[in-house]
Structure 1
Amino acid sequence: MFKQILLPTDGSELSLKAIRLGVNLAKACGASVIALHAVPPVQTIAYVAELMASVEFDYAREATRFAERYLDDARAIAAQAGVPFDRVLRFGEQPYQAILETATERQCDLIVMAAHSWEGLARLLMGSETHKVVIKAAVPVLVCH
C-alpha cells in the first residue's frame, strides 16, 4: 500500500507517538520511513541585523544539536522495528513548507505527523503546521493526536 512514509518530528512526546505509529504502519506495509526535522528561520529585523548575526549562529548550532537528538530517537524506533530508515534535516524554511517539499522530493506516499492542541491566541499567532500540511499536501496525511 505505502512504500515511503514521511515522519516529521519536533521532538515532542506527541511527535514520538506519531513516529511510532508511522513506523508500525511501515512495518505492516513493508515500507521505509524518512524522519524529518525542519529548523525554522530566525526572525530578524533589518535594523538589528548585526546583532542577529551572532544570535543566528548560536541558534543554528543549538538547533542542529536538538535536531540530531530528535532524528536519532526516530532512527532508534525504526531500527527496533526493523524498518528501513532515512533522515532529513532542513534549515530556514517554515516547517510545513519543508514537510511538503521533502514529501515531493523523496516521493513519499504518506505523511504521518502529530497535531498539537494549541488553543486560543497561541493557535491564532502560531498557526498550525499540521493544518497547513493537511490542506496543501499532494499525498494522504495521517494525523496523530
Structure 2
Amino acid sequence: MFKHILVPTDGSEISKRVVRDCIKFAKEINAEVIGFTAMPEYSVYAYEAEVLLDAMEQFTNQCIANATRNLDDIKAVAKEFGVKCETYYLTSDFPYAAIIQAAQDKNCDLIAMAAHGRKGIKGILLGSETQKVLTHCQIPVLVFR
C-alpha cells in the first residue's frame, strides 16, 4: 500500500518518540522512510554588510548542524529496525509547506508525523504544523499522538 513514507521531525522529544513509531510502522508494511526537517530562512535585521555575512554564515552553519543531528537520529532508528532510509531538508519559514513540498519532491505516498497536542489558547496562537499539513495536503497523513 504505502512504499515511501515521509517522516518529518523538529528534533523535539515528542518527535523523537514518534520517529520510532513511524519507522516501526514502515518496517511492518515494508516501506522506505524519508527523514525530513525544515530549516528556517535567514532574516536580516542589521545594516552593515560585514555583520550580515558573518551572521548569515553562523546562522546557516547552526541550522545545518541542527538538521544533520535531527536527520542522523532518524537514520540511526531506521538502521536499528532495518528500514531503508534517506534524508532530506528544505529551508522555509513555513514548516508545514516544506513538509508538503518534501513529500511531493520525494514522491511519498504517506506522511507520518507527530501531533504535539497543543490545546487551548496556546493551540490557537501557535497553531499546529500537523493541522496545517492535514488541511493543505493531498497526500494521506498518519498522525501519531
TM bin (shorter chain): 0.7 to 0.9
Partner of 1:69: 69
Which consecutive residues of structure 1, in runs of 5 or more, have no partner in the other structure? none
The CA distance in 2 between the partners of 1:125 and 1:59, in whole Å, is 26
Residue 117 of structure 1, CA deviation:
3.0
Q: Which residue is equivalent to 1:144?
A: 144
Secondary structure, counterpart of 2:27 in structure 1: helix
| Structure 1 moving runs of 4+ over 2 Å | 42-45, 48-57, 117-127
In the alignment, is the contact (CA less than 8 A) between 1:19 and 1:74 conserved in 2? yes
1:127 to partner: Cα distance: 2.4
Equivalences for residues 63-102 of structure 1 within 5 A: 63-102=63-102
Instruction: Name the CA shift for 1:30/1:68 in 2 (closer, same or farther; >3 Å).
Output: same
| CA drift at 1:82 | 0.5
SS at match of 1:143: strand
* TM-score normalised per structure 2: 0.88
Q: Is the 8 A contact 2:90 2:102 kept in 1?
A: no
Determine the structure 2 residue equivalent to 1:20: 20
**Amino acid across the alignment from 1:72:** D
| Letter of the 2:29 counterpart | C
TM-score normalised according to structure 1 size: 0.88
Residues 2 and 110 in structure 2, CA contact (< 8 A), matched pair in contact too: yes
Query: More deviation in 87-96 or 131-140?
Result: 87-96
Q: CA deviation at 1:106?
A: 1.0
SS at match of 2:38: strand
Q: Distance between the aligned counterparts of 1:37 and 1:19, measured in 2?
A: 12
For residue 18 of structure 1, report the CA deviation from its aligned partner. 1.7
Q: Does 2:65 align with 1:59? A: no
Segments of structure 2 that go 5 or more residues without pairing to the other structure are: none
d(CA) in 1 for partners of 2:141, 2:47: 38
Matched, 1:36 2:36: yes
Larger mean CA deviation between 50-59 and 33-42 belongs to: 50-59
1:108 aligns with 2:119: no
Q: CA RMSD in A?
A: 1.8
Whole-angstrom CA distance in 1 between matches of 2:120 and 2:65: 31
2:103 and 2:123 mapped to 1: Cα distance? 25
* Identity of matched residues, %: 38
CA–CA distance in structure 1, aligned partners of residues 6 and 122 of structure 2? 26
Question: What is the total number of aligned residue pairs between the two structures?
Answer: 143
Q: Give secondary structure in 2 for the equivalent of 1:37.
A: strand
